[in-house]
Amino acid sequence: MSKKILSAVLAAAMTAMLAACGGSSTATTAAPAETKAEETKAEETKAEETKAEESKAEEAPAAELETVQKGKLVMVTNAEFPPYEFHDQNAIVGIDVEIAGAIAEQLGLELEIEDIAFDSIIPEIVSGKADIGAAGMTVTEDRKQNVDFSDTYAHATQVIIVKEDSEIKGVADLEGKIMGVQQGTTGDIYVSGDYGDAAVERYAKGMEAVQALAQGKVDAVVIDGEPAKQYIKEVEGLKIIDESYTDEDYAIAIKKGNTAMVEAVNAALAELKSEGKLDEIVAKYIQAEE
Ligand code: ARG
């Protein structure tokens, strides 16, 4: 407690004591009546508060939300994915980190982040080691077999990165080419599905796929649009082609059947959306295109 607050509290306590003693100073003469009025008021407010709390508890399961670690919201992510999650010196920052932070705050929990391989995120959620997977994760029917998803919070595309002088101008030109992807991502899943395993080189990090492209080890990289923009800023001689590969939506992954967590996260997300906070977070990391 700060000294200022402490002395204010002491002063208030002394006034109350004086009032209780029924001293004769002008300040205390009026006190009994006031105190009474205040008491009833206080009681009323208390009653109102309890009521408010009760109805709140009914609509917000967050009040009894069970988490993997008491008092914490454990988030698993793969912080190789700017601007959604990336390392800034020793910290992990980004859009997902801020969204998860705001959700944790609304739920009265402390956010804890675990940075793991992208394709370990769903297994960690399934085995109950983490409460949420927030990793620019695309909602897919296959993933829905293993985890539940929150409402979506971002729209995304898979784009194709090529060398500036590449002959690849669109999706149709990918036939017979070797594509670099981040292991386990939708880029990996779609490209493997469409062209077969032999056409795919998998990397642990998106940036590694991009470097392989620059070194001529692969002909193209299929990866999410926003990280793609960041990666090509750091590696010379690359471009994103206009035609995108897919459209998709990001959501937060939660253990299957944990409806309390899904509802709590959705309620918090809705609040962030309506307050304009979500847009604010996104605008901090993604500048509108000129
Ligand atoms: N949106 C893609 C997917 O869900 C890629 C996500 C990669 N995220 C990450 N943090 N590395 O598969």
Same domain for 147 and 190, yes or no, is: no
Residue 41 lies in a domain: no
Ligand 1 contacts CB of residue 188 (under 6 A): no
Same domain for 101 and 220, yes or no, is: no
Residues 134-190: pLDDT tens digits?
999 999 999 999 999 999 999 999 999 999 999 999 999 999 999 999 999 999 999
Q: Which of 125, 78, 81 is nearest to 261 (CA)?
A: 125
Domain with 79, as residue range(s), is 72-153+251-285
Residue 47 lies in a domain: no
Same domain for 183 and 204, yes or no, is: yes
Count how many domains the chain has: 2
* pLDDT exceeds 90 at position 50: no
User: How remote is the CA of residue 78 from the centroid of ligand 1, in Å?
Assistant: 8
Q: What is the DSSP string of 234-281?
A: HSTTEEE-SS-SEEEEEEEEEETT-HHHHHHHHHHHHHHHHTTHHHHH
User: How remote is the CA of residue 136 from the centroid of ligand 1, in Å?
Assistant: 5
Total residue length of the chain:
290
Which atom number of ligand 1 is nearest to the Cα of residue 79? 10
Residue 54 lies in a domain: no
Ligand 1 contacts CB of residue 138 (under 6 A): yes
Q: Are residues 138 and 156 in contact, defined by beta-carbon separation less than 8 angstroms?
A: yes
Query: Residue ranges of the alpha helices (H) in 60-131?
Result: 95-107, 121-126
Same domain for 117 and 176, yes or no, is: no
At 132, which CATH number? 3.40.190.10
Same domain for 132 and 274, yes or no, is: yes
Of all residues in the chain, the percent with pLDDT exceeding 90 is 77
Residue 263 lies in a domain: yes
Residue 142 lies in a domain: yes
Residue 59 pLDDT class (50, 70, 90 cuts): very low
pTM over 0.85: no
Same domain for 140 and 162, yes or no, is: no
Same domain for 208 and 219, yes or no, is: yes
DSSP state of 178: -
User: How remote is the CA of residue 77 from the centroid of ligand 1, in Å?
Assistant: 9
Residue 289 pLDDT class (50, 70, 90 cuts): low
Ligand 1 contacts CB of residue 80 (under 6 A): yes
Structure tokens at 40: 């009833």
Which atom number of ligand 1 is nearest to the Cα of residue 143? 4
Same domain for 79 and 205, yes or no, is: no
Residues 210-261: pLDDT tens digits?
999 999 999 999 999 999 999 999 999 999 999 999 999 999 999 999 999 9
Tell me which residue has its CA closest to atom 12 in ligand 1.
Answer: 185
Same domain for 149 and 258, yes or no, is: yes
Residue 161 lies in a domain: yes
User: How remote is the CA of residue 213 from the centroid of ligand 1, in Å?
Assistant: 19
Same domain for 203 and 237, yes or no, is: yes
Q: Are residues 54 and 257 in contact, defined by beta-carbon separation less than 8 angstroms?
A: no
Residue 233 lies in a domain: yes
Ligand 1 contacts CB of residue 185 (under 6 A): yes
Same domain for 243 and 255, yes or no, is: no
Residue 108 lies in a domain: yes
DSSP state of 137: P
The whole-number pLDDT of residue 25 equals 39
Same domain for 148 and 256, yes or no, is: yes
Cα Rg for the chain, rounded, in angstroms? Answer: 27
